[in-house]
Amino acid sequence: MKNEVKKTYGWSRTTSDTSNIFYVESKEDIIKVIKLAKTESKKISNIGSGKSYGDNFLNDEVSISFAKFNKVLNYDKKNKKVTVEPGVTIDDLLRITVNDGLMFPVLPGIRYASVGGCLSNNVHGKNVYKNNYFGNHVESLKVILSNESVLFCDRSKNSDLFFSIISGLGLIGFVYEITLNLEEIETYFVDQYQIKNKRINNLIHDYTKFINECDFSLALIDNGSIFRKKQGYKLTYSNYSEKVSKLNLDQHELKPFMFGIIPKIFVPFILKLPFMKYLMYQFMGFWSSGKVGYFKEMTVSLSDYNFQFDHTIPKYNYFFKKGLIEYHCMIPKALFEEFYKKTIIKMKKEKLKTVFTAIKYYQNSGENFLLSFEPEEDSLGLSIHFDNKHKKKIDTFIDQLNELILEYNGKVYFAKNININNDQLQMMYPGYSKFVDMKKKYDSEDLLTSNLYKRIFLEKSKFYGQY
């Protein structure tokens, strides 16, 4: 087992820390690190593939990386199940299953997210309204606790551990084996459709009209270009294709060029040129409103549709010198229009504009995942992306936005950049008290940690503002 003392960034590159990282390859390795950490009075954070945006996995003590703990242990085509180690990625799962007409039902927008990380954040995809969350399709888990004991858990055995591990931010135990349920697919292609229009009320109307008729959906709205006052938007929804019945990963490999023109290896250097940031805001705004890249109907690979940023704008997280902040919240649908308008007013007051704004439809998962980003009723999620260059303005805006989110019975997503205090956490997440009880029960020594945990749960001032 290798280890190194290394400075590590969250995916959005807004915050970092230096930790002694151990690259485990077996459950025995995990137990060795637990013993070592206890001997040195250190605490441990879990790192999947490092695709959480903020400080979810960062730590200034000891970290366990599961990047090399990434074997597929069993693939049961007949019963549509796969058992994997936590370092296996979404990309790995697709390459294994799609040719057999099987697929894991939930695809986050980043293909290299690990199964362990997806589990810890209970992630969702563009089909969240239809297929719910990652945890809904987890069959069982095997976990090493901080006292070095090993437990099996599912919905009937050690179920309290099962529901606290899923969405538990890697703070309850060390998952070393995960069994997932797969779904059958007849094609890996989707027929996608687009609608473009203006103003948030029309977007909500259009989205509500089509949400029950589609497999996948996402809306983009222009809040960054010179035409942003017109609130132009583009709603893209899609269904598994009736035109193409291929079961292979066509259009899956990453493209070597940004926008099909600029070699991606040059992207971080080109974007340092002063005028490139301005052009980026304009392009993203035009793309979001349908001024460019608009079509009424098109059939593409699910990879091309679901991993749009990987394909269109590689190295998106390197665009900004001080990183990219993505703040992701959800509000009940009936209140969303009023909430959105107030949010834009507050954004204008701070003279902020977004690089990118997305809206997505959500529903309740029907299961009791304790820290899951899901609503009690049908809701719309708002994802807004800012250049971290304007951190003080963003901090002020987010303080105001958090108050607004609570006023409208909403919550903020842990997997992105999140900046709330403990009181706000308890109001947004009703499962908080039960989660604290489960952490005391299964991690009585409080061995598992992260900078996010220290900052929001324990309210350690050293970590304030580092999201």
182 - beta bridge partners?
Answer: none
CA 153 from chain centre, in angstroms, equals: 24
Cβ neighbours around 126 below 10 Å, total: 27
- Residue 227 has a pLDDT of 87
Say which residue the tokens 């050293």 belong to.
462
What's the rounded Cα separation, in Å, for the pair 274 and 152?
54
3-state secondary structure the chain: CEEEEEEEECCCCCCEEEEEEEECCCHHHHHHHHHHHHHCCCCEEEECCCCCCCCCCCCCCEEEECCCCCCEEEEECCCCEEEECCCCEHHHHHHHHHHHCEECCCCCCCCCCEHHHHHHHCCCCCCHHHHCCHHHHEEEEEEECCCCCEEEECCCCCHHHHHHHCCCCCCCCEEEEEEEECEECCCCEEEEEEEEEECHHHHHHHHHHHHHHCCEEEEEECCCCCCHHHCEEEEEEEEECCCCCCCCCCCCCCCCEECCCEEHHHHHHHCCCHHHHHHHHHHHHHHHHCCCCCCCEEEEEHHHHHCHHHHHCCCHHHCCCCCEEEEEEEEEHHHHHHHHHHHHHHHHHCCCCCCEEEEEEECCCCCCCCCCCCCCCCEEEEEEEEEHHHHHHHHHHHHHHHHHHHHCCCEECCCCCCCCCHHHHHHHCCCHHHHHHHHHHHCCCCCECCHHHHHHHCCCHHHCCCC
- Residue 258 has a pLDDT of 65
What's the rounded Cα separation, in Å, for the pair 200 and 233?
8
Q: What is the mean pLDDT of residues 355-376?
A: 95
Q: What is the mean pLDDT of residues 360-365?
A: 96
Q: What is the mean pLDDT of residues 86-110?
A: 96
Chain segment 427-454, per-residue pLDDT in tens: 999 999 999 999 999 999 999 999 999 9
Give the mean pLDDT of the chain: 93
Type of residue at 252: H
- Residue 283 has a pLDDT of 84
What's the rounded Cα separation, in Å, for the pair 391 and 347?
13
Least confident of 13-17, 35-39, 56-60, 384-388: 384-388
Identify whether the C-beta of residue 413 lies closer than 8 Å to the C-beta of residue 328.
yes
The pLDDT-based confidence of 8 (bands split at 50, 70, 90) is very high
Chain segment 133-157, per-residue pLDDT in tens: 999 999 999 999 999 999 999 999 9
The two three-digit tokens of residue 464, written as one number: 């304030």
Question: In terms of Cα–Cα distance, which of 326, 369, 292 is closest to 51?
Answer: 326
The two three-digit tokens of residue 210, written as one number: 């089509």
Q: What are phi and psi of 143, to 5 degrees?
A: -135, 140
At a CB cut-off of 8 Å and minimum separation 6, what does 131 contact? 105, 106, 125, 137, 183
Identify whether the C-beta of residue 132 lies closer than 8 Å to the C-beta of residue 124.
yes
With 70 as the cut, is the pLDDT of residue 246 above it?
yes
- Residue 260 has a pLDDT of 63
Chain segment 298-346, per-residue pLDDT in tens: 999 999 999 987 766 666 777 788 888 999 999 999 999 999 999 999 9
Question: In terms of Cα–Cα distance, which of 52, 132, 134 is closest to 93?
Answer: 134
What's the rounded Cα separation, in Å, for the pair 118 and 90?
9
- Residue 312 has a pLDDT of 67
- Residue 372 has a pLDDT of 97
Q: What are phi and psi of 265, to 5 degrees?
A: -65, -20
Chain segment 104-131, per-residue pLDDT in tens: 999 999 999 999 999 999 999 999 999 9
325 - beta bridge partners?
Answer: 386
Identify whether the C-beta of residue 360 lies closer than 8 Å to the C-beta of residue 230.
no
The pLDDT-based confidence of 228 (bands split at 50, 70, 90) is confident
Q: CATH code for 189-419?
A: 3.30.70.2520
The two three-digit tokens of residue 38, written as one number: 């206890």
Question: In terms of Cα–Cα distance, which of 444, 411, 446 is closest to 122?
Answer: 411
Q: What is the mean pLDDT of residues 56-76?
A: 97
Chain segment 170-198, per-residue pLDDT in tens: 999 999 999 999 999 999 999 999 999 99
CB neighbour burial string for 141-180, b if at least 16 within 10 angstroms, e if fewer = bbbbbbeeeebebeeeebeebbbbbbbbbbbbbbbbbbbb
Chain segment 271-289, per-residue pLDDT in tens: 667 777 788 888 889 989 9
Q: 200-210 vs 333-349: helix axis angle to the nearest 10? A: 150
Question: In terms of Cα–Cα distance, which of 66, 71, 77 is closest to 103?
Answer: 77
- Residue 252 has a pLDDT of 86
Percent of the chain at pLDDT > 70 equals: 96
